[in-house]
Amino acid sequence: MKNRAIKDIYKLIKKYDVITIYGHVNPDPDCYGSSLALREIIKDNFKGKEVYALGYGSEKLYDRLSTYDEVSDDKIKESLAIICDCSEIERVSEQRIRLAKQIIKIDHHIESKPFIGVKWVDNGSIACAQMIAEFAFTYKLKISKLAAELMYLGICTDSGRFRYAPTNAKTHLIVSKLYDLGIEPKSIFSIIYQSEEAFVKYQALLITKFQKTEHNVIYCFADVKDYEQFGLKFDQVSKNVNVLGNIIGCPIWCLFTRSPEGLIRIEFRSAGLDVQKVALKYGGGGHRQAAGARLENQKDFKLSKEVVKDLDILAEKGTFE
């Protein structure tokens, strides 16, 4: 059964001749995969439309899968803009989105503030790419092998290779259909799950640096000198929180990475507790068990230590208000 949001989005896609698609800042493979998969699906099923995906990220997959597009301001002004995998316009990587005639949203994150306009938000989907696949299957749309692989990429990575909630029966059913379309995951895995020697050494450093609070919150402060000594850059290292995960008896793990400009990116993860509420306090958001936040203009980790205290309260009480 088609829900109202899916119907409204389908009608708007049919209405507009120019469509632009956007993701969030510091994009991950789900952001990349869902955005480009939606582009391919629209191009293959709605002939005559101009469809562009704007953004950056997952560059090492460009040769294996596909790249983003370049587009003029004038085209954006004509377009229906679709946000994928991003809860707020302020967090969209390409702020020219504000030039568009109309903006809609497809997302699986908990909203930190209401999005005004047409939207389809499903917190029960493990990945935005799962929602794009559901949209395509709902309307029995043609799905190319490329689009299928892009959606598989998003689902596989956001689910932590099917380990994280809310991976469910629908997730696996959709993935089984993607296999029927000829996807070849092994060649994708060989790209995304291999690392340079310097990166592995940096991850090892994080393991030696982590600390633990009174109530077993694992946290690590990664400063500029920590990764620059290996010749690495902020964008390469700020998504390593799961290196700290899966320690017995530790319900929360968190990574703080500071950029040369003083931006601290925080990644929160938990084995069940609602870390999203702590992320919201510091201007972030995400999911109950996987969230993030950004602290601007930080010369040190003084404010980050306050975040750690809040996480310790959450670990002690089981809730955070």
Do 130 and 24 contact (CB within 8 A), yes or no?
no
128 pLDDT higher than 90: yes
Mean pLDDT of the chain: 95
197-317: which CATH number, 3.90.580.10, 3.20.20.70, 3.10.310.30, 3.40.50.720? Answer: 3.10.310.30
- Residue 16's nearest CA partner among 5, 6, 8, 24 is 8
| pLDDT score recorded for residue 113 | 83
Report the pLDDT averaged over residues 129-156: 98
Quick check: do 4-192 and 197-317 share a fold?
no
- Residue 290's nearest CA partner among 255, 250, 318, 315 is 255
318 pLDDT higher than 60: yes
Of the chain, the percentage scoring pLDDT greater than 70 comes to 99
Cα gap 58→60, rounded to integer Å: 6
Cα gap 310→215, rounded to integer Å: 11
For 47, residues 6+ apart whose C-beta sits below 8 A from its C-beta are none
Phi-psi sector, 249: left (phi>0), alpha (psi -120 to 50), beta: left
| pLDDT score recorded for residue 2 | 65
* Domain edges within the chain: 4-192, 197-317
- Residue 288's nearest CA partner among 38, 109, 54 is 109
Return the structure tokens found at 195: 């690392």
The angle formed by the CA atoms of residues 33, 232 and 268, to the nearest 5 degrees, is 55
| pLDDT score recorded for residue 226 | 97
Residue at token pair 């316009």: 89
Do 255 and 244 contact (CB within 8 A), yes or no?
yes
| pLDDT score recorded for residue 110 | 87
- Residue 213's nearest CA partner among 278, 310, 144 is 310
Which parts of the chain fold into alpha helices (H)? 4-15, 29-45, 73-78, 128-138, 145-158, 169-180, 185-192, 197-209, 224-228, 234-237, 276-281, 302-317
CB atoms closer than 10 angstroms to residue 125: 25
1 pLDDT higher than 80: no
**Highest mean pLDDT out of 104-113, 239-248, 255-264, 280-289:** 255-264
Do 262 and 296 contact (CB within 8 A), yes or no?
yes
Do 43 and 19 contact (CB within 8 A), yes or no?
no
- Residue 215's nearest CA partner among 86, 317, 105 is 317
Do 91 and 26 contact (CB within 8 A), yes or no?
no
| pLDDT score recorded for residue 92 | 95
Q: Which CATH architecture best describes the domain 4-192?
A: Alpha-Beta Complex (3.90)
Report the pLDDT averaged over residues 90-97: 94
pLDDT per position as a tens digit, 246-270: 899 999 999 999 999 999 999 999 9
Phi-psi sector, 301: left (phi>0), alpha (psi -120 to 50), beta: alpha
Return the structure tokens found at 171: 């997730």
